[in-house]
Every structure is written in structure tokens, then in C-alpha cells.
A and B are shown apart, each in its own frame.
Chain A
Amino acid sequence: MGLFQKLVNLLGVGRKEVNVLVVGLNNSGKTTVVNSFKSEEDKMTDIVPTVGFNIEKFQNQNLAFTAFDMSGHGRYRDLWEHYYKECHGIIFVIDSSDRLRLVVVKEELDLLLQHPNICQKSIPILFFANKMDCKDALSSVKIAAALGLDKIMDKPWHISASNALTGEGLQEGVEWLTQQIRENLNVKH
């Protein structure tokens, strides 16, 4: 049973469709993260750079998750904004060993936060400081500081260090996100 499904069962949210948008630079590990949420039989063994985007679904008796796994390559980053409107939560994956591109991460995050479809919404953002196993990996605290996450006032956010290959740290993050989404849904009803 996949991690997502376990959680969904645990929380017991009503039969709701929930969209999450998975973004981040190319090679940060988005597809690997999404892949580890899937049930054993659905898991891919070979992960290649995503072209455009992938849609992954997780069905549960109470909740249906749809993850939009976007490509992080420069030429596809324009696609992200088309899904801002419909999503209930954002997973932002960061390669914490790629120090060179931390400025690019910040630039893309700022563009995302300034987008009209995002800046009005109180949408929860989950950051994965992925590849924590790498030698040059920066801590999640350092990454949060470098990205200026403390300046995000109007949206709930959370950062967890992760290793998408082993699944380490993913659970903690997703628990938080599910909680946030559920709260938002409850407020609306």
C-alpha cells in the first residue's frame, strides 16, 4: 500500500478530488518523489527526465489524489502556471546538493509566489530539500534561509529534508500537506 493511500485512509477525508502540483528544477527528484507515493505494483523502475508533465493518480475510498508531475527543464517551466488555478497544494522539490542553482530555485519560487493565481490563495506549499544523502547537500534550514521562506506570510509552508530514493523524510512532509489540504476543505464546507 502506497504512502499516500495509507495517509488518506488514516485521515479519512470525505470522497474528494485533490490536485497537487509537483514543481522544482529539472533533476531535483520530482518524478522520484511522486514515484515513491505510488503503490508497489505501479512503481516505475526506470526514471527518465520528464517531458512536459506526467499525471499520477492515487485512489482511495475517501480521497482521490491527482499529482501533476511537471518537467523542471527551463523550456517547460512555462507550463507550471497553467495548473496553479486548480491545485489544492504545491510540492516544491529542491536538489539540496545543487548549490549553484539555488538562485534559480529562488527565482522560480518568486515567480510562482507572485503569480496572480497563487498570490491571492492561501495554498499550502511543501518544500522537499531532496537528495539529503548527497555529500554537498545543504541542510533544510540553510535552504529555507537562502530561499527566504520566512518571508512567506500568507501561505502555510513546510520544509523537510528528504531522500526520494529511500523515501526518507517524505512521509513527514506529506502528512503535513494532507493536514493542510484537509483543513482548507473543511473550512470551505
Chain B
Amino acid sequence: MDRYFFLFLKMNVSKWLEAHTDRSANLITLPRNAILADISGTGDYNLVITDLKFKTDNKSRLKTFRGTILISDQALPSLPNSLISFFADRLEPRIPVVGVACGSEVFFYKNLKPFYQFRVPSCPLIDHESNIWKEIIETKQFDVDKMVESLKEIPYSNLSSRSQQLLTEYSLTKAEAFIRKYMDSIPVKDDTITCMITLERTSKDKTSISCPIIATEFSNIYILDPQNFSIIQQANTCNTAATPFLIRCSGLYDVEFRILIATREGHICLLRKGWLEGKSLIQLKSDIVDMVLVPGDNFIVVASVDKIIQCFTKRGQRLWSSEVNSPITTMCLVRLEHLSTSLVAIGLKNGSIQFYQGRQAVDYLSIADSPSVIVFGQLGQEENVLVVITAGGSISFKILKRTAEFSNVPQESTPLIQSKPLPLPKRSKLFLEQSIRERQHALEIHQTFQQDLIRLRLTAARALIQNLTDQSGIGNEKEQIKLSAQVLGLGPKFTIVLTLENINPTKPLVGLKVTFHVNPLYYILSNYVIKIPLIPPSLSFKMQIKAKEIMEESGNEEQSNSNAIRVFVSRQEFSIPVLAATINMPPTELIA
């Protein structure tokens, strides 16, 4: 509170003009029961509201205002629950249809005259209940007590209204008379409308044709054709028990749309084009009061009974939450097209309205008492009018000043979670063609890949063998000696050239000898031990020995590993060699 007070002192001048307030209007209405629509098609927008009367002898009314003046007041058949307006056709002048939901019916008005009545389909009875009534219809006999007892086995809310009424009859005689009266027909279980909204059909302009969407007590969602009011899509709210009470939508019916349904169980369910059942997107811990969708980002702003406002992305990730100082009664989207921004007006029980731009409270209005409904839009000729009806029955009209700006307030709307999707490149035509090709020729592509992989491995193995047989690069890191050998000749006489390298850049090598070890049955060497002179740092010593293969007809192949000459480099006084290597001798190529 202090913060707003401070903010208020700083701004001092209100951004709103007080156009008109009537404290004795005596209007009783609820959220979603006020709309602004050009009902006569003259460009002079009207305010249409329902005025609720809860006493049975007093009918609720549908009231229409031109500017601040009441111009029409008609009785409604029963308690209204929500109000919509939409364009149903392209006839000139463009006159929208106003729809009022009362009980299981929607009454459609054009030019303030009722012209169509839509009834939501009734629900099938529970088997048990229909059996009870069927039996009475067939036998024409009944026992009131027994019947009441068996009806009581069914949960009260699942009964038809006729059975419910029967259970509330106290006296036996009255109950009997009641049953007799309805003895010839099976009762119907009416479905009650709980909320409505409209969804644009093909385009998003101010006068585009929209479809009414209706949600009911028994969790049904109906999308109606705006011209003939037939049901064009029907779905269930959620796969779990859910009672819709508030519905919002975005998108276009013909293209793609998202319907968000808030339920009394605290879920927000998502329903999309073609779905037969919605799915729960968000679950709140406390009861939902109101919900708005902020256009553009399609953020979902939800108010709950615990005085908390939360904002979610369209995928249901929570971006921020904020607590207000008084219970929230209603919310309203304030679209400011001339400023290209949208605010969310939050009506509080203490008689104030807070305006949020993103997560920031940017403005504040004080009104007579707790607002029961807030609407914002064009009224008369003025585009930015805020109409507030309060629980105390007052109505007040406020106009946003032309010079009002909200952008000078420092905006830290950076969401807690990165809401933007990863910057994936656009799917190019090439990409699409490639993926189609991959799907069609999966087997060939896989086989070609495997062949190439095997070839690669083979090449790698060959290179390794090559490297091993090169007989170079054997060394001892610690002693910093490297030995390489080279075999020259075709056989049976070979020359072996050995190079001993001192890779130590500072110390010379001293006191080394090289010993050769062969199977004397196959090879005879010119020299078996060679004493190595001093090898200065970074230099090498080359030596040469002759080997002669003993050619024998048999046995040569059997001991294949015997055609190897082992070389040991050792220090004169130690028995453990410093370096050991094996020279694989090539077979003698016999020239025929």
C-alpha cells in the first residue's frame, strides 16, 4: 500500500478523467456480465449489462446504455450468467448479435430484439435413476418412501432437476402429487451454462465474424456456428472431474486456436482445435477468481482467492506472481492500441483498481466500493473508456486521458524464466526434402552408412598395422632412447639397419650394448652383440648387421613367430633391458 501511495504522490495527476458516476444506479451484476458493443451499427458503442435480481418474483434485466444514459431495459427469463457479443454476418450496417446465457439457454438479440434461442443438449440420466422412473411409468405404481430412498443412493448433484425437486418435498402427500404429475415421462437432466466467450473465425479485425463458445456445468464445451447456431465442435473440458466457470480464448477458429478454461477445482485446462478433450495446463493451489489472456505474448494472468496474481506463459510456466493487499473481485484486460500495450486492471474488494503492465503496478484508481465488474473499450465515440459497476450498485465511467502514458514507468518485465523458445533455424525447403528422403529410403541410407563405417574401420586397422610393421618409433621415454630398424633385401640374406637415437637434449648416452636374439634354426646373424659408443645429446647412432635365413623345406610355416629377431638394448652392468623390440622378418621371396 505504501508503495502505491508514494507512486500516487509522485504522479499526483490522475491519468483518468471522471466522466460520470451514478451512486444510486442500483445495479447488481457479476464479472463477465458487461460488454461494450455497437449494437445499432452506427459507430456509437453501447454498454450492455445484466442486472441480476435474486428474488423469484423479480425478473433479472438486460440493460443497454447509450453513453451514460439507459436506453433499453428488458426482462430476462431467468438468472443470467454471462454476456457476449459477436458479428454473425456481413450484412450492412454491421450489427452484432448479443448473447445472454440463462440456465441451459442462450438468448440471442439483434438490435435489442430477441431472435434466437439456443438450448445446450441435455445429459443422459444415470442408469439407476432412469430405471426408477421407467418402472413407475410402466407399472403406474409407486411407493414414495422406497423411491425417495433409492434416489438418495445417487449423489444429489448427478440427479435430474425433477428428482432433485422430489427429494426436497417434505410432505408425503405433496411428494405423491408431484410424482403423479410427472408419471408419464422420463425426466431430462438439463446441463447448465456456466460461461461463454467468442472466438474470431477467419480474421482478427474489429468486425470479423466470431463463433460463440459455451461451457457447461457438466464439463461440456460447445463451439457454435455464428450463422445457424449449430454445434460445430464439442469437447470435454478435461480428463479429470472439472467444472468450467471461466473461459478465454486466442487464435482463429479456421486456423488454430487455444481455449483456456478455468475450473472450480483450480485447474486451467487447454483445449485446441480438433481436440475432443482438454488437458490440464496449470493447477493452482487455491480457487481461481478471474483470468485474462494478454494479447501478443498470450500470457495467462490468473487471480486467486488468496490475493495472488500469477502470470504464466501459454505453455503453463509461471513467470511471476504478485500479492495485492485486498481480495481480488474481478479483472479486466485494458488494451491500449494507441500505446501498443495492454494493461490488466485488477479490481480489489477495498474499492480500488490496480493496473498492471507486465509484473509492474503502473496505475491506481480509487472507486466507491468493491467493483463487481470492470469493462474497458469503446463507449459512444470514445475509445478508451473504463466502466466499473460496484457491489454497492454504483456505476462509474472513466476515460483515459489522451496524453496518458505508461511507458515512462521503468519496466522490468524480464520474466524469471526465459520464455522465448530456443533460436532454432527455420525449417527450410531443403531440410523438409531431406527429411522426406530419409523417411522414404531409410534402409538404403542405413546400409550405405554401415558400409562406410566398416570401410573406415578397415582403413584405420590397416593404418595401425602399417604403423606397427613400419618398425619404427619404439622408444623408452624415461631413458630417452629411441630405436628404429629397417630391413633391407629380399632374402635369404638381409641387412638390418638399426638406428639408436638419443632424444635427451642435454645428456649423452654411455655404456649401452645391443643384443640380438634369434632362433638359430632359422637365422644366422653376422653379429649378436654390439657395443654402442657414446651418443651425444640429440644425435643418433646407426649400425648394420647381416642376417641369413636358413632355408628349410618343412617346419617353417608351423612356427610363424620364429621369423622374428628380438633386439635388447641394455646397460652393461644391468640385466633388465632398457629397451626391447621385435623385428618381424619378411619371408624370403623365392624367385622361381
Seen from chain A, the residues whose Cβ lies within 8 Å of a Cβ on chain B are 25-27, 74-75, 77, 95, 98-104, 107-108, 111, 136
Contact = CB atoms under 8 A, between A and B. Distances in A.
Contacts, number: 50
A108 B402 CA distance: 9
A77 B338 CA distance: 13
A136 B17 contact: no
Contacts of A136: 66-67, 69
B402 A101 contact: no
Nearest to B67: A100
A107 B17 contact: yes
A107 B381 contact: no
Interface residues of B, number: 20
B382 interface: yes
B399 A98 contact: no
B383 interface: yes
B169 interface: no
Top-3 shortest CB links A-B: A100-B67, A103-B17, A100-B380
B380 A101 contact: yes
A107 B402 contact: yes
Given A74-B383, A136-B69, A101 B19 contact: yes
A108 B401 CA distance: 10
Given A75-B338, A107-B401, A98 B17 contact: no
- Select the residue from A27, A77, A100 with max chain B CB neighbours within 10 A: A100
A103 B402 contact: no
A108 B10 CA distance: 23
Contact of A98 (B381, B397, B402, B403): B381
Give chain B's interface secondary structure class. Answer: strand
A26 B399 CA distance: 15
B506 to A, nearest CB: 87
B20 interface: yes
15 contacts: A25-B381, A26-B381, A98-B381, A99-B67, A99-B68, A99-B69, A100-B19, A101-B19, A101-B382, A104-B17, A104-B399, A104-B402, A107-B401, A107-B402, A136-B69
B335 to A, nearest CB: 15
B18 interface: yes
B385 interface: yes
Interface string B68-99: 11000000000000000000000000000000
A103 B338 CA distance: 20
B270 interface: no
A101 B20 contact: no
Given A101-B19, A136-B69, A74 B338 contact: yes
Nearest to B379: A100
Interface in B230-253: none
Contact of B397 (A27, A100, A107): A100
B381 A27 contact: yes
Nearest to B382: A101
Contacts of A107: 17, 401-402
Interface in B390-416: 397, 399, 401-403
B384 to A, nearest CB: 8
Interface in B353-401: 379-383, 385, 397, 399, 401
Contacts of A103: 17-19, 399
Contacts of A102: 19
Interface string B1-19: 0000000000000000111
A75 B337 CA distance: 11
Nearest to B47: A100
B385 A100 contact: yes
Nearest to B402: A74
B552 to A, nearest CB: 110
Contacts of A75: 338
B380 A77 contact: no
A101 B20 CA distance: 9
B380 A98 contact: yes
Interface string B400-437: 01110000000000000000000000000000000000
B230 to A, nearest CB: 39
Given A98-B380, A101-B380, 8 more contacts: A74-B402, A95-B381, A99-B20, A100-B19, A100-B68, A101-B19, A104-B399, A136-B69
